[in-house]
Each structure stands twice: as structure tokens, then as C-alpha cells.
Amino acid sequence: MKRNVLCTLAFDGSAFHGWQRQPNAFTAQQAVEAAVLRVTGENTPVVGCSRTDAGVHARMFCCHFRTQSAVPCAKLPAALNFYLPDALSVQCCEDVPDAFHARYDCKEKTYRYHLRNSRTRDPFLLRRAWFEGAPMDAALLHAQAQDFLGTHDFSSFCAAGADTKTAVRTVRRFEVTRESDDVFFTVAADGFLYNMVRIMVGTLTDIAKGKRPPGCIPGVLAAKNRAAAGLTAPAAGLFLWAINY
């Protein structure tokens, strides 16, 4: 009988063209599936909790796969990591019920966006933050971000051409904080649309720069049109931060 194994990963997205398997680019899913094949001898699909764009990082990413291998979960991380690139690491593994699904059983995801608010670049953050020299009032941004809370149609905050059945999502928490030159946008929701967090961040920074008036978010939501929102913040600053089941 096959086991269903849940793995928790962390990866540097700059090394991969996103999570989802692609025919002409190297992705995190392909790396994990190749490692599973080497450890178990089985060519089995690995199902992720989310699709991430090229360059987006994950502090916590969950995936599951089915296997007949007898390797215990306590030893699987070390075995898989031996065959994985340095930019990706399995943190832990556990046996889960056969019906468990890493994507569909997810109750909440938390993303964190890192904006470096400085006129000088930090070379150690070049692939892990968005550098923005214009002043960012974190208190203002936090207050404006509260208009995202609740259940809304987020069509204005979804990349054009995205294939989704519904744009309705529930945002449960949105915090904007500052630590010295670093501004962090932390948002938790029951799910996210394609580029949703990056567009929300881009729209909020437009408010900080005076390109949009405070209080504009409800109107942008009501428009249900991508053209009504701001720019899409760069992928490098985005981290999938936590998954709750």
C-alpha cells in the first residue's frame, strides 16, 4: 500500500523558474521530483501547495507525494536533500492520510513582501528585496492596507489572462511594518490570485509616493479591472511565508 508523504520545503526562488513543472525551464517541482525518483526509485508526481512565479521565494512550502518506499519520514529529508540543489531544502516530512492534498486542504497562506527603502542598494539583498528610494510611510501603508481585509472580488489585483474560476478571496490579515530601512508587507488569506500580493504592494507604494490618494483601495476593488490598480512589484521581494492546514 502506498504512503502519502507531506514534505515541508524552503527554497531560494532566484534559482528556479517558479514551482510548477515546465517543458523549457528548470523549476522547484522538477528538482523535488528528480530527488524523489533517486531516493524511492519511483517516478511519481509531487503536488505543491501553490504555484509560485519565477524568482519568488518560499520560507515554507508544502508538497505531497505517494510512495511505496519504506524509508521512514525521519530519514527522508536527509536522503532527499542529498540529491537536491543547494537552493532548495526539505525541512521535514510526515506521513499523512491518503486523502490529504497539499493544495486543496490548505486553509490559509501567508506571504511576506520585503521592500528595501533606501537610496543605496544592499548587494546581499539584490535577489531578495525590492529596492525603492522614495520615502515609505509604513504607518500610512498599514492603515491603507486594512481596506483589503474581508471577502472581496480581487479581479483588479490579478494579472490579466489568469485562469481562475472566481476572483473572490478572503484576506484575514494585512500588516505593514518597518525595521530600519526594511519595510515588510505581511498578508494572510484563504487563497491568492496570480500576482495578487505583488499588485497590492505596488498599489500601496503608489499611495506612499503620492501617485494615488489615500482611501482609493475600495474604489480599485470595486472596479474589478486590472488597469485600475498599480504596478506589479518585482518578484524578488516576495516570500511564501507560512501554510496552515
Catalytic site positions:
53
Q: Is 65 exposed, middle or buried (0-12, 13-18, 19+ CB in 10 A)?
A: buried
Cα→Cα distances 6→44, 83, 90, 196, Å: 14, 18, 10, 26
Q: Could you give the dihedral angle defined by the CA atoms of residues 222, 225, 231 and 232, in that order, rounded to the nearest 10 degrees?
A: 100
Query: Could you tell me which of 198, 173, 199 has the C-alpha nearest to residue 186?
Result: 173
Helices in 93-216 by DSSP H: which ranges? 138-145, 196-208
Cα→Cα distances 44→65, 70, 80, 223, 227, Å: 7, 15, 14, 43, 41
Cα distance between residue 21 and residue 120, in whole Å: 36
